[in-house]
A and B are shown apart, each in its own frame.
Chain A
Amino acid sequence: MTKKFKHKDIVSIQDLTKEEIIYLLKLTEKIKKLKNKDGLLKGKVMASLFFEPSTRTKFSFESAMKHLGGDVLSFENMETTSVTKGESLYDTIKMMERYADVIVIRHNLEGAARFTAEATERPVINAGDGANQHPTQTLLDLFTIQECQKKLNNLTIAMVGDLKYGRTVHSLTQAMTHFKSKFYFVSPASLKMPEAIKEELKEKKIQFSELESFDRILNKVDILYMTRIQKERFADPLDYEKVKNAFILKAGDLTKAKPNLKVLHPLPRVNEIEKKVDETKYAYYFQQAQNGLYLRQALLSLLLNKIS
């Protein structure tokens, strides 16, 4: 492992210093531009252990590995694994480490990735552990923000949607505190950013305000980070109906936007970004998803000592 990066695993964004994050973003840029990379991970095997459903993240990791010439071991669904026979996660990992060079894990239980990393000497990448962490999403978000704004420092970022339960917005907010950002948190009153994160921002003297509509701030923000609001989060469906329109972005709204504004979304979207927005210069969420591929290629190559 390179001297600049001491970690064997990628488990939590909280493990990474500002310098390490910047290093990973540089590496992603390098691999994105790199030509003739298709044999970089030839002969290496990635175990793709998705214990809960995922489309984008699973495909992104597997595609990243295959495009670098590596192989992938994965199961179609939980029913085909020995976990259904009662095998512990520990035993599954001890078996997989004998077959694979790197382990990617998504699990519904929080802390599963840390547990896995401690159970094996093989490098482990957390692809999401319950409501806790999804560090590769945060890193690809940071990379995308830097790419579309040409910088990471001193940006104004609006986070929109379910800010209470969305781990993506929590981790991204915490990671962006390294870069002197200013935040607008736009959510229904019942789905506000958790107090613990707001406390953290106050301690770090980072400016933020909370709003219930993004209407008046589109001319102020560099990044509009949209997320899905799940109807099921509301006890009364009528409450959802009352607020849902305030959190849907339409192409017409963007007439007020700052020229450099870019709209991001971790995907999947349901109806929170009108399809017409895709055609505007502000839409950047599909590039964001594609960057996920490069970021994951960078991490796999780094942890397997094939790039520095």
Chain B
Amino acid sequence: MEKTLKVLAIKNGTVIDHIPAGKALRIINILKLQNFEEVITIGKNLPSKTHGKKDLIKIENLELNSGQVNQVALIAPLAKINIIKNYQVIKKFKVAVPDILTDIITCPNPKCITNKEQGGTKFLTIFKNNKFQLKCHHCERLFSQEEIYDYLA
């Protein structure tokens, strides 16, 4: 008898697709879902027509809000998000890195005033050649996408 391994369809929740291979766990971390009580299915290194490999996350009984979507965009700018209700996709959208990110990133520059004073951070997104850089509104330093991974609040 042929055995098949399948990832179960979810009844209600969110599917994050087209995550760069190897980044799924990082998204779980920044969304602070490590201790989330519902079922989370993570697919790593799944075949992808466009990128060779991809990761995928299915989260049951959770609909991401816009702040969380922004955070996903910082790690997986090409991710697609499906909101599922009653096994049906009711909303489908691509993530987009917003032009301004408020209180999402801690400035990686240890000499930035925002690391010493209370009051939050603001980063401006600068898009160039399909990539983006983030500029701290305070210290004016530019950071690449990779440089901010460890500084997401």
Contacts and interface: CB of A to CB of B under 8 A. Distances in A.
**A and B from one assembly?**
yes
Interface of A: 12, 14, 88-90, 107-112, 114-115, 118, 129-133, 196
Interface in B36-75: none
Contacts of A14: 140
A90 B119 CA distance: 9
A10 B76 CA distance: 37
A109 B111 contact: yes
A89 B118 contact: no
B118 A110 contact: no
A88 B97 CA distance: 33
B113 interface: yes
A46 B112 CA distance: 25
Contact of A110 (B117, B119, B140, B142): B140
A186 to B, nearest CB: 25
A196 B118 CA distance: 30
B-side interface mostly: loop
Contacts of A132: 139-141
B114 A115 contact: yes
Contact of B113 (A12, A111, A131): A111
B139 A88 contact: no
B150 to A, nearest CB: 19
B138 interface: yes
B126 to A, nearest CB: 11
A108 B109 CA distance: 13
Contact of B137 (A114, A131, A133): A114
Contacts of A88: 117-118
Contacts of A114: 113, 137-138
B140 A133 contact: yes
A108 B111 contact: yes
Nearest to A107: B113
Contacts of A112: 113
Contacts of A111: 107, 112-114, 136-140
Given A90-B118, A111-B112, 9 more contacts: A12-B140, A89-B113, A90-B117, A109-B116, A110-B109, A111-B139, A115-B113, A118-B119, A130-B111
Contacts of A108: 111
A114 B141 CA distance: 13
